[in-house]
Chain A
Amino acid sequence: AQKITQTQPGMFVQEKEAVTLDCTYDTSDQSYGLFWYKQPSSGEMIFLIYQGSYDEQNATEGRYSLNFQKARKSANLVISASQLGDSAMYFCAMREGWGTSYGKLTFGQGTILTVHP
């Protein structure tokens, strides 16, 4: 079964507006970590934000925030005040917390975000 699902292959947003990129995950572990990465056209993978399964507050890093709904197993990325430089591929990922899979990192299919001027 897919562990990380990103259902939006592509998203469009107007510059300066906010956008939400969806991510749902599947795990039976109690302890796990959720991550978002950005991959610009240059191909590098840039870490954006982390949320732990036991964290009660939603994570925030500058213009990035993570809308964590544990019961729904969703970890959506919210980008506020979009900029042209935000145009990129975005990946949601999860690290597992049990057994020999401890620390194993699994990614979703990705969402291509295009910011229009």
Chain B
Amino acid sequence: DVKVTQSSRYLVKRTGEKVFLECVQDMDHENMFWYRQDPGLGLRLIYFSYDVKMKEKGDIPEGYSVSREKKERFSLILESASTNQTSMYLCASSVTGVATEAFFGQGTRLTVV
């Protein structure tokens, strides 16, 4: 079974903190994704990585950065957390291509206070 693991299920951080959300996949997938999910807005793509050290901005990259030093790990970084970044964050991975589904982690519910 494909496994995508996010480091935390729930996280509470203070405004201004630097926050790291970690995602690890065990299927040697080239592609990895970070989304945030908010009611009424669906899943919005923050960043997409198509290979190690390669990344592409999604629809809402402002306030976020990412790091992919190893194929299995994709980190989302909030340089200075703000309350409007309180959300559910979902990581996903897949093989390259348009015909393959993505596999998701369990999500991280981040609250910034």
- A interface with B by C-beta (< 8 Å): 6, 9, 31-33, 35, 43-45, 47, 50, 52-53, 91, 93, 95-97, 100-110
B residues with a Cβ closer than 8 A to A are 31, 33, 35, 40-45, 48, 50, 56, 58-59, 88, 90, 92, 94, 96-104, 106-107
Q: Which residues of B contact A104 (CB under 8 A)?
A: 45, 48, 56, 58
A102 adjacent to B98 (CB under 8 Å): yes
Q: Provide 21 A-B residue pairs closer than 8 Å at the C-beta atoms, listed in order of the A residue.
A: A6-B42, A31-B98, A33-B99, A35-B101, A47-B101, A50-B101, A53-B98, A95-B97, A102-B50, A102-B96, A103-B31, A103-B97, A104-B45, A104-B56, A105-B33, A105-B45, A106-B45, A107-B35, A107-B45, A108-B42, A109-B41
Name which residue of chain A comes closest to B31, CB basis: A103
Shortest Cβ distance from A59 into chain B, in angstroms? 11
- Among A9, A93, A103, A107, chain B packs the most CB atoms within 10 A around the CB of A103
Q: Across the interface, do A105 and B42 meet the contact criterion of CB distance under 8 Å?
A: no
- Asked whether A43 lies within 8 Å of B50 as measured between CB atoms, the reply is no
Give Cα distance in the complex from A101 to B59, angstroms. Answer: 12
Cβ-defined partner of B50 (8 Å) among A45, A100, A110:
A100
- Asked if A110 and B98 make an inter-chain contact with CB atoms under 8 angstroms apart, the answer reads no
Minimum Cβ distance to chain B for residue A16 (Å): 28
- Given known contacts A6-B42, A100-B56, A105-B33, A43 and B98 CB-to-CB distance under 8 angstroms: no
**CB of B3 to closest CB in A, whole Å:** 12
- With both chains docked as a complex, state the minimum distance between the C-beta of A4 and any C-beta of chain B, in angstroms: 8
- B98 A107 Cβ-Cβ under 8 A: no
Chain B residues with CB under 8 Å of A107's CB are: 35, 42-45
Q: Please measure, in the bound complex, the distance between the C-alpha atom of A105 and the C-alpha atom of B51, giving whole angstroms.
A: 15
The closest CB in chain B to the CB of A107 belongs to B43
Nearest 7 A/B pairs, CB to CB? A109-B42, A45-B104, A107-B43, A33-B98, A47-B101, A95-B98, A97-B98
